[in-house]
Structure 1
């Protein structure tokens, strides 16, 4: 009997498989197709011949942990202890799975804000806990009154994703103030803050949970070098959490993966000495602006994009189809793959919105836009 009877093949897998089948341009799955910084690949090439291929310490390569602590301090003004408050993970998905598995118990409740990324619910279910899906407003702002009403004495965790996938929305100062008030009323709730797109924001500055003093002692922060440095296949992420929570997370981590890819950890440690983290947002803002410019005369309506490398569009002027069928037809008839937003909702809420990934080279974006503008 299945432990996850209602979870089927990921929509990302479905759309990418269809894109390959029909030779469509794949703007569905969130991975860049342009080259990695040569400085980073040169570091990897050099390290390949060095003695760096055995297990690193369970928490992470010591130098990398120091660099992560320095990065958090530079970015957010927060001091973390590398030995006790940081953990290098095999990507953000493993970080999230490990955190939930370590901290959530049988019959606990975990609040997930929809539309939500699909890796949140499965570990909750595997813990024999109960996911409580609460929809954001239709403009993707949180309704804190509704979120608070969903909280009970059984609520163990609230998961936020900021900047938000799939919508590109970022939380405001007011949102964090409301969240802090809510958590004051429920002192046992842990906050899991998924911030994998933290360095990919545009006009509005990303507010990290790292900067909220009221939250630090009860918050687990998730970050991703794969996203930040467009090396998604490396599967390198990291967690920051207070020591009492990190002790529990490490208990699970040591039996799940024990340690993470050694050469990639060491390469990123060296790369952090020479890369400018602020340039990442500039790169993706250029991509976003270029893609939006290419689509401005199309029949799609562009929704706001404040962060991430995803652009949500409305197709209401084109079709009344549900978004899954529209995305499938988009692949088959027009040769472009996208992701339907309804699949991020527990109830399949369909607002006639789909998501494109613009983390692609300009030639790919141009050809995709040409096909989309012809619809």
Structure 2
């Protein structure tokens, strides 16, 4: 019994307790079922004019409509991509090159996804873009006053993610987007971690561009989308045919788009049906169980309230996160730290928040999801507590 009456993916049946949903989610069996006919029967090119094209074309349009409905957009504003990184690239490079400015100004923030930060570096190197990286506070949040001070007449685009993948910190997107618009700049929001976990409406947030990622919401890897507000001009990411509003040429991957659409339909029901509250209760129970057994040693990283309902990032005094997880193969989770030639370095996200290296290296990212249960949480907490006690 999974606790939420959704079919259990076969891959979860006999493995470790899975607490790495922010890295990737299992494909929901209902999503796989929706995709299957488009991997077998409905093989036609949706751009062709014969009967074999009709069902792929209809399914593609339906998938686009479902993604649009999930984020409060219109169908024609959804552009399918192959990944969140590609969607970020299309938004960032597309806006900078379409601006026509000799030295366009871009603003982002220190804990943004590498897909954004590395593209910013490339645009500086290749196109002379000027990039401002805003600091974050101790909770990992951007201060609106810092953005206001950085904006100028040459600012083309501001990019701030909705939720951090390590701490779950929720940025004040609507306030930041409004500031960007005062200077005529576009606002992009990487919502890979937020869509499907909390309500996201592009109109309420006031964003011009927004990234949606399938494998963060129970669709397969390789399925993603970029919301592009009507009237926003972007340079294409792939040139050629007219697919995806001319922004991404190439015959559409109908099966993956259908999977993303099916996942969006399920997520839309879950978000309003109590799933976030159920998962938040499990997350808090996990935190409380750890803190009670290890008094004074467990420290929350990131905001206590303004964070994703499924994300718990904690440091435990006296342990290294990667060593602790290596000692508990019964749990699948992650740390955020990087390993180069056997040397572990602290998470850039946590160091940007001002955490000392020792605390950052002690961090665990425990992220829950659709099939997390009370039994899972109790077992994971007890296993971590036992492993910590002997260190």
TM-score by length of 1: 0.70
- What CA distance in whole angstroms lies between the structure 2 residues aligned with 1:132 and 1:24? 42
The aligned residue for residue 178 of structure 2 is 180
Query: What is the aligned length?
Result: 324
- Alpha-carbon RMSD: 3.8
Superposed, which structure 2 residues align to 1:81-160 within 5 Å? 82=76, 85-105=77-97, 107-127=103-123, 128=125, 129-160=129-160
**1:286 Cα shift?**
2.7
The aligned residue for residue 45 of structure 1 is 36
The aligned residue for residue 187 of structure 2 is 191
Consecutive unaligned residues in structure 1, runs of 5 or more: 1-22
Change (3 A) 1:123 1:198: same
Change (3 A) 1:347 1:164: closer
The aligned residue for residue 330 of structure 1 is 324
- What CA distance in whole angstroms lies between the structure 1 residues aligned with 2:152 and 2:264? 46
The aligned residue for residue 312 of structure 2 is 311
Consecutive unaligned residues in structure 2, runs of 5 or more: 1-14, 49-55, 338-345
Q: Does 1:371 align with 2:376?
A: no
Query: Per-residue CA shift, 1:273-304, capped at 9, x if unaligned?
Result: 97461315744543342243133132323452
The aligned residue for residue 11 of structure 1 is none
TM-score by length of 2: 0.68
**Alignment partner of 1:234: what SS?**
coil
- What CA distance in whole angstroms lies between the structure 2 residues aligned with 1:39 and 1:24? 23
Superposed, which structure 2 residues align to 1:1-375 within 5 Å? 27=19, 30-32=22-24, 36-52=27-43, 54=45, 63-69=59-65, 72-73=68-69, 76=72, 78=73, 80=74, 82=76, 85-105=77-97, 107-127=103-123, 128=125, 129-172=129-172, 176-177=174-175, 179-184=177-182, 186-187=183-184, 189-196=185-192, 197-201=194-198, 206=199, 208-211=201-204, 215=206, 219-228=208-217, 230-231=218-219, 233-246=220-233, 248-249=235-236, 258-269=250-261, 271=262, 275=266, 277-280=268-271, 282-283=274-275, 285-298=277-290, 299=294, 300-302=298-300, 304=304, 306-307=307-308, 309-315=310-316, 318-319=317-318, 326-334=320-328, 337-340=334-337, 342-344=347-349, 349-350=354-355, 352-353=359-360, 354=363, 355-359=365-369, 361-362=372-373, 365-374=377-386, 375=388
**Alignment partner of 1:200: what SS?**
coil
**Greater RCO structure (CA 8 Å; 6+ sep):** 1
Change (3 A) 1:71 1:234: closer
Structure with higher Rg: it is 2
**Alignment partner of 1:119: what SS?**
helix
Query: Per-residue CA shift, 1:21-63, capped at 9, x if unaligned?
Result: xx997745734565x4333222233333213265769xx9564
**1:97 Cα shift?**
1.3
